[in-house]
Chain A
């Protein structure tokens, strides 16, 4: 069944406390090549049947209204993934 993937990230101007903690822990495992980390969320909305323009539009609206909070997050990607 096809899925609609929605990616949500903390706004660039907002310090991401979780990403910061991960960035601080990476060098302890020897991963020293990364200057910073930002942690976001990926949602997979499974569709029973074809992804019509209406369903894709619903996903976009759900992403803006519920899956993200515009005060602190941006929806950075909404795309269809076929299996």
Chain B
């Protein structure tokens, strides 16, 4: 009997076959699923395409073993708990988040868990106080979905080392509560410490202060951004690029950055 392959699965098989020989395959990246997560599968797929091993994590698991020994964690996009109360406000109190917050803020620099929050994941990281500031509704009040150009302002974080400083990348942006806000003192500190990791290029899509699209913590192991790199990792399913429609794979660098960091640190 011939089975119809899932969209893109042939490519995944190739990627997985290559990954088996890849030195990166030993790096295990956890992807958290909350009730209402949407992009957990896409994030796991991005990890596999980049050559790593994706590990499913469940929000309700508690205790240190809930992290299943992963080397890094991605908190994906979606509408966890329906965005009730505030986006990310209820997820932030999930038992698994307690473990993530502890591991990401570990006292020992050698043991810091790398964490990437995408969209709703970024909102959860701000609610968890792993990253400063908060998100408001877009200033124009509309849900926005488009290919978005970003400038990589800091390529020394664990999630951006494969990019050049100042490099412009295009990844999808899709949200309603994407207006990044913090008080002026916090914004000045973020700028001074180089913790503005991504800025919107061109028209500001949501009123975010100082065109900020993504930030990091002081150590650079925790990064959050509103746009979606995991939707720009596979030719045929990405944004438009110079090579044609849907060919953009600018988001792949997030995943290869952390994998390279985990297996040795240097490119």
Contact = CB atoms under 8 A, between A and B. Distances in A.
A69 B127 contact: yes
A43 to B, nearest CB: 9
Given A69-B86, A72-B181, A17 B134 contact: no
Interface string B114-145: 00000000000011000011101111010000
Contacts of B127: 69
A72 B85 contact: no
Nearest to B86: A69
B182 A17 contact: no
Interface string B3-33: 0000000000000000000000000000000
A67 B134 contact: no
A14 B181 contact: yes
A71 B139 CA distance: 17
Nearest to B138: A17
A71 B182 CA distance: 7
A72 B136 contact: yes
Q: Helix, strand, loop or mixed for chain B's interface?
A: loop
A18 interface: yes
Contacts of A72: 134, 136, 181
A1 interface: no
Interface in A29-82: 66-67, 69, 71-72
Interface residues of B, number: 19
B141 A18 contact: yes
A17 B89 contact: no
Nearest to B177: A17
Nearest to B183: A71
A57 to B, nearest CB: 19
B89 A69 contact: yes
B133 to A, nearest CB: 6
Nearest to B127: A69
Contacts of A67: 85
Nearest to B92: A66
Given A67-B85, A71-B182, A72-B181, A17 B136 contact: yes
Contacts of B179: 17
Which 9 pairs between the two chains have the least Cβ-Cβ distance? A71-B134, A17-B137, A72-B134, A21-B141, A17-B141, A69-B134, A17-B139, A69-B86, A71-B133
14 contacts: A14-B181, A15-B139, A17-B136, A17-B139, A21-B141, A66-B89, A66-B93, A67-B85, A69-B127, A69-B134, A71-B126, A71-B133, A71-B182, A72-B134
Given A17-B138, A71-B134, 14 more contacts: A14-B181, A15-B139, A17-B136, A17-B139, A17-B141, A17-B179, A17-B207, A18-B137, A18-B141, A66-B93, A67-B85, A69-B134, A71-B132, A71-B183
